[in-house]
Amino acid sequence: MMIPWPVKHRFLTPGVFVLILIALNGLVFLGIRFISGIGAVTNLNDYTPWGLWIGVDVGAGVALAAGGFTSAALGHIMHREHYHAIVRPALLTAMLGYTFVAFAVFTDIGRFYYIWHPLIMWNGTSALFEVGICVMIYMSVLYIEFMPIVTERFIGRVDLPDFISFLNKPVDRFLRYIDSRLALTMFIFIIAGVVLSTLHQSSLGTLMVIAGQKMHPLWQTPILPLLFLLSAIAVGFPMIMFESLLASRSFKIKPEMHILSRLGVMMSPILGVYIAAKIGDLFIRETFKYIAPLDGTAWMFIVEMALIIIPFFLFLSKKITNSVLGLFIASAFVIAGVLVNRINNFVVAYRPFFNPVEYFPSFGEISVTLGCIAMLVLVYRAIVMIFPVITQDRKDVYNKMIELDKSGPRRWI
Amino acid sequence: MKNQNRRDFLKTAAGIGASIGIAGSVKPAKASEKTLSDDRFGILVDTDVCVGCRHCEWACRVAHNIPTPDLDTYSDNSVFKEYRRTDASSLTVVNEFENEKNSAMPVHVKTQCMHCEHPACVSACIVGAFSKLEDGSVVWDGDKCIGCRYCMVACPFQIPTYDYDRSIDPQIRKCDLCFEKRKTEKLPACVNICPNEALLFGKRDDIVRIAKSRIKRKYDVYIDHIYGEKEIGGTSWMYIAGKDFEKLKLPKLNYSPAPGISESIQHGIFAYFVPPVTLYALLGTIMWITRKKKGDDSEIKDETNQDKKGGAL
């Protein structure tokens, strides 16, 4: 019987050890940034105020966490129960992804101790304000959506250390109370999560519109918000497939191909809409002429488009959507395509006037970005080993649960 | 007071839907349109008169308490070899450009914040740390700023600068038209010190008129264009010159206000909260319609079937 259950596996493996080293290296540069300022670690300057941290950690981070809202829309709102097994991993990815984004923002803004200011100082004309406030609310929503997984893990199993063990019962009662309240109100948060996501995914695109003529015409378009939303939706499922396949390989669990293949089949139409919008924009604004010089910038555009168009065709093939490797590669293409798109929008396309030095991220910047990603993966690994996130074939556990509770295991998130 | 109301409103807002609602209904800070006075300032930089003495750079630093070398050291012309931009310690910078008509008389161009009529920084700032004052000046409030540097991304003249080398209390710096100083003195420091009267300070309307008459009088010297009169919807600082402005490293910009497109997209998405609330209602309806009926255990059945299928793959 397939049921979400904590994964039983060694935490430390050679791969994990490498991740820890990458994380430590990032932490060193993070330390320098907070002691000596942004200039000490980054190549940012007065011409180029935003770089890798905004492009990848924030821009791409928000997009790659989109699996959370696309799977919630599919699983919970459209009630396609078949896909329930992917909702929890996607939710965890989104929750950790947004936490990572929030931390990236905290690192990148100069006056990090004022990060709470947007909560009370509002500027309705600012796209960044819209993104900021939506991301803050959405992150809270994600944590609330994750709560039932925590209560499920501990209800009936609260086992505190001896000296406070008298609290076991009250804590259990408290968890049951929260659980019952959440069960009644969860639909509010699920819908809110999807609405908030559509809002800030698109507003993230509006961000660069105000840069006006400083942004390369291949990317500067008034439909940027639409393109950002469509690409976020497009990358949601590939991210879920990529992660699920990676996790099942790492934990030696059977890949959930019966779900992932069906997601794969949906991908070509979703990618098609994005590609159509992107190419339509290219022709309506007649910006295709900027590709002709075939300079570095034009090549970045070509690479970005290729990384999206190739998987469009890959996902059309039944052979590929039915094979583990095929799905993995096709999803990796989409993820890379959206990643390059965000880097292009926030870094490559931003071309300040009379700029003497072209920006390229420093070793410190890259270290921090990679370090944060490594930390995210490590936390993800730890959480799926503690909480029931990943669905596995555990008949033994299921039967025991049925014995305890005739109505079967609770499955509403 | 207005802020206070918003805060209270936020506190009492019940439910996520409601709080999304409020976020969008915050009225745009269109100070530029509402409060701009007809007497607002304009400053003309006459590049034909400027000799590049850089006294304005010195006076500006003194006025803003930025450490500066003696005024005598400013006669050193070697700084002109390289193009310089405003930075955390220089809110205004004078650059030298070749003069094709008379190579002995190079052109000098002072740059600083242009104090736009419709400032992109005011529109963009996440916390509203920038404001356009009635007299035309655009000023920054360090008590609000979170240091995100979006103003630098937004500014069409790429003027605001940031203290990259400070971890605590880094400043966003730019010309503030000597806002504090002008409470007691009449002129901004740079205009006050300019020995050649290359800088002309007055009502914006008068300044435009004077600039036009100068161009008319010396039509053989100036090109017929006041840079800043219409660029990006108009700026407080304006330039006249005998050379194409782009060659003087003043970017060629179109005439529509910088925040225009961004703001209309923003308001389109939010339009009194109708789109987000509609979306919420729509999703709620879908959720209700597709909900699992009581006693429907298709989920379990579905899964067992899929299990078999999954095994085959």
- Over the stretch A376-405, which tens digit does the pLDDT of each residue have? 999 999 999 999 898 888 777 777 776 666
Q: Name the minimum distance, in Å, from the CA of B268 to any CA of chain A.
A: 11
The pLDDT of residue B180 is above 90: no
The pLDDT of residue B196 is above 80: yes
A61-79: average pLDDT:
90
pLDDT, position B225: 93
Q: Name the minimum distance, in Å, from the CA of B108 to any CA of chain A.
A: 17
Work out how many domains chain A is built from and give that number. Answer: 1
Q: Which of A33, A122, A227 to mutate to test the interface with B (most CBs of B within 10 A)?
A: A122
The pLDDT of residue A406 is above 90: no
pLDDT, position A152: 85
Show which of residues 85-104 on chain A sit within 8 Å of chain B, judged by CB atoms.
Answer: none
pLDDT, position B235: 94
CA dist B193 → A19, A209, A310, B196 (Å): 60, 39, 63, 9
Cβ–Cβ gap B29/A206 under 8 Å: no
Range of A72-81, A122-131, B274-283 with top mean pLDDT: A122-131
Q: Where are the domains of chain B?
A: 31-259
Size of interface A-B (CB pairs under 8 A): 253
The DSSP code for A350 is B
A117-122: average pLDDT:
92
Which domain does A162 fall in, by range? 2-352+360-394
The pLDDT of residue B20 is above 60: no
pLDDT, position A350: 94
Domain-located, residue A218: yes
Q: Which of B303, B305, B308 to mutate to test the interface with A (most CBs of A within 10 A)?
A: B303
Cβ–Cβ gap A354/B85 under 8 Å: yes
> Residue B11 — pLDDT band, cuts 50, 70, 90?
very low
Domain-located, residue A130: yes
Show which of residues 350-379 on chain A sit within 8 Å of chain B, judged by CB atoms.
Answer: 350, 352-354, 356
Q: Which of A111, A134, A220, A402 to mutate to test the interface with B (most CBs of B within 10 A)?
A: A111
Residue-by-residue DSSP string for chain B: -HHHHHHHHHHH--HHHHHHHHHHHSPP--HHHHT--TT-EEEEEETTT-----HHHHHHHHHTT-----GGGGG-GGGGGS----BTTBS-EEEEE--SS-TTS-EEEEE----BSS-HHHHH-TT--EEE-TTS-EEE-TTT-----HHHHH-TT---EE-TT-SSS--EE---TTTTGGGTSSS-HHHHH-TT--EEEEEHHHHHHHHHHHHHHTTTTS-S--BTTSGGG-BSEEEE-SS-GGGGT-----SS-TTHHHHHHHHHHHGGGHHHHHHHHHHHHHHHHTPPPTT--HHHHHHHHHHHHHHH-
The CATH number covering residue A154 comes to: 1.20.1630.10
Q: Name the minimum distance, in Å, from the CA of B290 to any CA of chain A.
A: 6
Contact of B202 with chain A, judged by CB distance below 8 Å, is answered with: no
- Over the stretch B88-119, which tens digit does the pLDDT of each residue have? 889 999 999 988 888 888 999 999 999 999 99
Which residue of A44, A81, A122 is in closest CB contact with B26? A122
pLDDT, position B21: 38
Cβ–Cβ gap A354/B269 under 8 Å: no
Which residue of B270, B299, B313 is in closest CB contact with A257? B313
Lowest mean pLDDT among A390-394, B207-211, B212-216: A390-394
Cβ–Cβ gap B26/A124 under 8 Å: yes
In this prediction, what percent of chain B has a pLDDT beyond 90? 49
- Over the stretch B231-266, which tens digit does the pLDDT of each residue have? 999 999 999 998 899 999 999 998 988 888 888 887
Q: Which residue has the higher pLDDT, B262 or B23?
A: B262
Lowest mean pLDDT among A142-151, A401-410, B124-133: A401-410
Show which of residues 272-301 on chain B sit within 8 Å of chain A, judged by CB atoms.
Answer: 276, 279-280, 283-284, 286-287, 290-292, 298-299
B6-35: average pLDDT:
41
Predicted-complex ipTM score: 0.89
Top-level class of domain B31-259: alpha beta
Q: Note the helical H segments in A155-256.
A: 168-206, 224-251
A185-198: average pLDDT:
91
Domain-located, residue A413: no
Domain-located, residue A411: no
Cβ–Cβ gap B283/A73 under 8 Å: yes
Nearest-CA neighbor of A338 among A17, A61, A133? A61
B265 CB neighbours in chain A (<8 A) are: 127, 206, 209, 222, 225
